[in-house]
Structure 1
């Protein structure tokens, strides 16, 4: 896993100036190496984290003179060894043992069809010398990011939004749609970003850019919507199929030339990963948990559950306790590491955990995605009792942080784009061929919401310390299997029923039959004391007053009584404060 950046000039030769600036911002993602290659109107840059092929032969940008191809790549192809053998049989010769070179040869052999053969997480750019065109692709579930901007002068891309903004050509004008999505979804989703004209390459898509500036885009994968609800498989059949797929996915993600650990929250998902890795024969597994200070009656850790798993499997367990002072002093560096503003309270947990984990291993497995894929959230059961006509409104009632009336109060008028977030959900549900509202909601969450919140959160926070995070629950074959399952096998007994049934065969019941938990960070839910002072300081800055993003009279009311502004997903004051802090941290005027 690494950081990539580049420039394609439509007006002459490319310069290393902007690429150097972007790479400097990406340095934490790839602390083991650095490279820039410029030729004609193309300049590629790469920050390397050594995980597979630790030699210089695996360095990037990687060029194959015989094929006339140059690549920069971020991610990991888990089946690269099998693909290499296939490509060798087709006559290709290799100069490295890296998965990067496998992508290069696979593209030469199969062009845009090559992604269908990859099992992994990836975003990459390949320059073709003979056609002077550049090909981009992103993995099926958007685990690896890719941001870009283009105008008549050129095309610029990077692994993160703050890095891309280091290029002076990229505008930083706030998008009303992006702001509306952030306030509603707690994330900016799809191809949109917080800034007008700046885009993300969608998951499961490719992009081709010519030297003249012509941009062509295509889709190579789409999450299936056909549910096998004709009772052709018994519950036991589904359970066995799921168990097999889970072990296959977890084993794939052991592919590395360095040790692999696990982020162990104490929940069923991460505990199941530890159990499966143990059954796969992994010895002396490193596991990591984090906890925080209690606030009032709210407990700040779940060590009692992670301790059960660590003890049961005799892991090399590391417990990190983040005291109040640690949390406070690391909040701004955590915000600096966010590619886009991330309001979830547990983001600071991932940041501090990643900081500690990076001192022990370079690769970890994480349980992200299981709640979306296997229906672990509270907003799914209501979707079983609504009609297709009312499905979007039912989803919004449970999922949105703010309703339109609230947004009209907190946002300045120019950012009150009426019902745009609801319209997105309505359009998605209308175009999704799933028959039932609950299946439409699961599809939306897995294909869209998951990408730009939990998955991005883990990528950004781990990569802030050169740590590669792998997410076995988002293996595309596992996800495709899950979306064939009838929703009843997911929602039963409080959610994730079938996943928990598999877990009962592997891990102690004490971590399965427990209340659902998260990384608890009480201080950010309460917004009192020094955290409230931090919010007041942020909104007292001249830039916050001049920005004209918020209705500052309403913000002042929130600052005066934060306890009155709490929603389903925590403190609303924290949400607006986080956005303002992120903009200030990245010098957005």
Structure 2
């Protein structure tokens, strides 16, 4: 975990080093171990460093190649840096550090922009070529590490966080279309557009170059279109071997690595595999795990977590997010998130990383990404059933099994089947819900049906999975993960998004991923005997839950003050209606939270 900063002046004006230094200062939380700036005429790049691999100062950034032609700033980790480094050494390259940063800069020297395909990891980096006067920036395949930019006719400003760009005095006008998508559809991070009209997100698998003063943004990665595998005889072994190896290389670090543990299938798999790796490599380390807990047994995961702790002999750290901590940290968390977010689950994750920081751990593994690529969400199930409409026996069998494994009951299950498969029904539903608090004039001035229809991807299972990967789920989860971990100088690593594993998963026939009512069937079968059985075959797994409605019900005065004092979001939110909802005590907590988070964001960043 680090942070990068950069300015390129198209008009040839010299970059103010103090301005790049200020951009660095704003993100010192991301990298308190090193801080550096390089300025050459009309270009300036900077970096803050969280030292993880090769802790020596010689590995601080900006880092130069041996010929002093290239300069790099880099945020992330390259997990196969050892293998790529060895390949480069065979070609005659010399290394002065043991860092993955130097591997990137030499890979760029050898393969140019094609070096991206050699790398396995998470990254956003910028390389300045002094000789060709070329700036090259790239983001990793699935967008685990962030990169944003502002561009006009005279300059380009880029950074790991939006607040860095705002510090350069750019126009802070908000993006009404994105606010509409957020308030009405509950969509965020679903396009290249941000909540700021003039700030753009470099999307996953994209890169940009500036050469001869010409800016070019393009996509460098997409999933290979190889089709589904024909031979599934060794499917479960091959899958497990890839997951095992992903966890193995994600453990490469010169500092201690811990794990987030929710008690669900994904995080439990990572913790158990990590334990097996340490044992198989003869290492005596006892890993540390971190879990958010609650007094409410309906959302508390400790019974499942305890099973994992017993199997792995891990050291457990329990923390208890509550409404008082939420009120204490809400402004700071809003600041670090940069943009609105969809619910108080973000605070639970914030609290986990706060605890991790307090224990001195700098790196953790987390289970994000599995639900989206392995079809873990229940919302995938209706699309799975739709695929079997022409096979009545299989349709009925999967329907009955789905009712059992989801714990929803027949009526609710059938309602969900219709809802998720029918875009027009979903559209009317979200419009009706948002009508409870969105300003009528604002709502009537937008027609975003095309965006909604594209994002929900109701046409089929594979289209819906791809939308979850690239648009409506993983991008927002990764943003939360990055900002919450970065706020506490912690690096979060995501083994399920190792590109080798993701590409393999997308070759698995869809009917192997959901089977006999079970979502994530391949993961469950591959983990037989590897994790506690109660977790492997757990029904109705909770999402990363918090008692959001209970918390909001306990703070009506605070909510009313938020909308009464220095009200900022009046263009979007009908204050009288939202106050009426709060006073009634009978509200949809998801809708109320979105209005609350928008108003908080506008206050924290002084927006109008």
Q: TM (normalized to structure 2)?
A: 0.88
Structure 1 unaligned blocks of 5 or more: 431-435
1:575 aligns with 2:575: no
Q: Distance in 1 between matches of 2:367 and 2:75?
A: 21
Tell me, in whole angstroms, the C-alpha distance in 1 between the residues paired with 2:595 and 2:242. 41
Check if 1:380 corresponds to 2:404: no
- Partner residue, 2:20: 19
Question: What is the CA–CA distance in structure 2 between the aligned matches of 1:346 and 1:196, rounded to whole Å?
Answer: 27
Matched ranges for 1:274-353 at <5 A: 274-281=271-278, 283-294=285-296, 299-353=298-352
Q: What is aligned with 2:430?
A: 403
Aligned to 2:195: 194
Distance 1:15 1:211 in 2: 21
Task: Give me the whole-angstrom Cα distance separating, in 1, the residues matched to 2:104 and 2:425.
Answer: 42
Q: 1:310 to 1:398 in 2, by over 3 A?
A: farther
* CA distance in structure 2 between the aligned counterparts of 1:396 and 1:464, rounded to whole angstroms: 38
For 1:481 and 1:397, the matched residues in 2 are separated by 34
- TM-aligned CA deviation for residue 340 of structure 1: 2.1
In the alignment, which residue of structure 1 is the partner of 2:208?
207
Would the alpha carbon gap of residues 113 and 20 (structure 1) be closer, same or farther in structure 2, given more than 3 Å must change? same
SS of equivalent residue, structure 2 residue 237: helix
Match of 1:420 in 2: 448
User: Counterpart in 2 of 1:252?
Assistant: 249
Shift of 1:75: 0.2
CA drift of 1:414 comes to: 4.0
> CA 1:10 to 1:65, structure 2 compared with 1: closer, same or farther past 3 Å?
farther
Call closer, same or farther: CA 1:402–1:111 in 2, change over 3 Å.
farther
| Shift of residue 427, structure 1, vs aligned partner | 7.8
Partner of 2:132: 131
SS of structure 1 residue aligned to 2:527: helix
CA distance in 2, matches of 1:494, 1:580: 40
Contact 1:343 1:574 in 2 (8 A): yes
- How do 1:356-395 residues align onto structure 2 when only pairs under 5 Å count? 356-358=355-357, 359-386=359-386, 394=421
Residue 397 of structure 1 deviates from its aligned partner by: 7.0
Structure 2 contact 369–474 (Cα < 8 Å) conserved: no
Distance 1:452 1:54 in 2: 30
Query: How far, CA to CA, are the matches of 1:315 and 1:400 in structure 2?
Result: 46
CA distance in 2, matches of 1:391, 1:15: 58
Aligned to 1:522: 547
Alignment of 1:533-544 (within 5 A): 533-544=557-568
Partner of 1:7: 7
Report deviation, 1:233: 1.9
State the aligned residue count. Answer: 569
SS in 2 for 1:527: helix
Shift of 1:469: 0.4
Aligned twin of 1:472: 495
Name the SS for the 1:28 alignment partner: coil
Give SS of 1:504's match: coil
8 Å CA contact 1:4–1:159 kept in 2: the answer is yes
Q: CA 1:577/1:102 → structure 2, altered by over 3 Å: closer, same or farther?
A: same
The normalised TM-score by structure 1 is 0.91
SS of alignment partner, residue 47 of structure 2: strand
Q: CA deviation at 1:526?
A: 5.4
Please identify, of 547-556 and 155-164, the stretch whose mean Cα deviation from structure 2 is larger.
Answer: 547-556
Contact in 2 for aligned 1:263/1:365 (Cα 8 Å)? yes
Aligned runs of 1:110-259 on 2, under 5 Å? 110-168=111-169, 170-183=170-183, 184-210=185-211, 212=213, 214-228=214-228, 232-234=230-232, 236-259=233-256
Structure 2 unaligned blocks of 5 or more: 280-284, 388-416
